[in-house]
Amino acid sequence: MSRIGFIGLGVMGTPMAAHLAAAGHEVSGFDLNADALAKLEAAGGRAAKDVADAVSGAEVVITMLPNHPQVEQVVLAPGGVLDTIAPGTLLADMSTIRPETSIEVAKAGAAKGIRVLDAPVSGGQAGAEQAALSIMVGGDEADFAAAKPVFDTLGKTVVHVGPHGAGQVVKAANQLVVGGTYALVAEAIVLLEASGVDAGTGLDVLAGGLAGSRILELKRKSMVARQFEPGFRIDLHHKDMGIALAAARQSDVALPLTGLVAQLVAAGRAMGYGSLDHSALLKVVEELSGRSSEEV
């Protein structure tokens, strides 16, 4: 078992840290939210007083933060993670951030003898709670092998996808596919209902054919019922679509459908739906068609 420092106990980080504690690891965690620290202690972990306290003496450090500015502040700033942990420590950033920040963190870590992996996840809050995340890992193969037993406690699909930053690129690809699928399912619902066809029945058929997807499997009933409690908020997907578009520009490729989906997600945020689940793209498509949920 390992001594693990865990920074970032949000809706994803809290259950992830709890799974690690339940597996027998010695987990010290820190978050600015006192309630999150209390949940960690209830799960068998230790609530640290600050970042340095959480990671001091840790063999593995995991960061699970909202975006790259928070990662840069927690990891790279004076007094942060890299200033506190010892050479040889394994740092796995499981946040979803831009690839260039992951590469910057890896270079800064290497200069201090610290092993770094970027390991963003897919599966949302439910995947974190069920320890069923998909984890895409960038970095050195040997470091991935060392971290895999920890990752296996958190997810069902754990894959080394390439060098530093590659995990973030794969996550960006994941998010553009997820966003595009939600947008198309939303359009299918609007078309079915506007044509007088029961959307639930129609999506049941689609889910059993070539159009079937994990999103149709898990979300078609809640979308038809207009139940948009987050899982994964539109605000966060908006951030992720920006990462995908920036990665496309950096790689000098055109992703026209990604651009359109990014605008739909941005529209949902502008319409005040940022705190809703990303399946609420249905509300955006409805409004573009001059329809509302009340008319269904």
pLDDT digits (tens, 9 = 90+) for 197-245: 999 999 999 999 999 999 999 999 999 999 999 989 999 999 999 999 9
Whether residue 46 is found in the same domain as residue 102: yes
Active-site annotation holds for 171:
yes
Co-location of 120 and 210 in the same domain: no
Residues of the chain with pLDDT under 50: 296
Same domain? For 150 and 198 the reply is: no
Residues contacting 178, CB < 8 A, separation 6+? 122, 215, 237, 278
Q: How many domains is the chain partitioned into structurally?
A: 2
The reported pLDDT for the residue numbered 292 is 76
Tokens standing for 11? 């809706």
Residues 146 and 48 in one domain: yes
User: Does residue 285 sit in the same domain as residue 189?
Assistant: yes
Domain harbouring 263, CATH code: 1.10.1040.10
Domain boundary among 107, 136, 164: 164
Distance spanning both ends of the chain, measured CA to CA: 54
**Whether 183 and 104 share a structural domain:** no
Rounded distance, CA 86 to CA 82, Å? 8
Instruction: Choose the final residue of a domain: 164, 182, 212.
Output: 164
Burial of residue 196, with CB atoms counted within 10 A of its CB: 0-12 exposed, 13-18 middle, 19 or more buried: exposed
Q: Are residues 220 and 158 in the same domain?
A: no
Q: Note down the domain range covering 30.
A: 3-164
CATH code, domain with 156: 3.40.50.720
Same domain? 187 vs 62:
no
Question: Where are the extended beta strands (E) located within the chain?
Answer: 3-7, 26-30, 46-47, 60-63, 90-93, 115-118, 121-122, 133-138, 155-162
Same domain, 51 and 151: yes
SS3 76: helix
Locate tokens 């897919």: which residue? 122
pLDDT at 296: 47
Say if residues 171 and 136 touch (Cβ distance below 8 Å).
yes
Contact present, 295 and 198 (Cβ < 8 Å):
no
Helix (H) or strand (E) holding 169: helix 166-194
142 and 66 part of one domain? yes
Q: Which of 171, 219, 239, 283 is catalytic?
A: 171
- Judge if 199 and 173 occupy the same domain: yes
Give SS3 for 65.
coil
> Looking at residue 293, what is its pLDDT?
64
Clarify whether residues 102 and 221 are in a common domain: no
> Which phi and psi angles does 49 have, rounded to 5°?
-85, -20
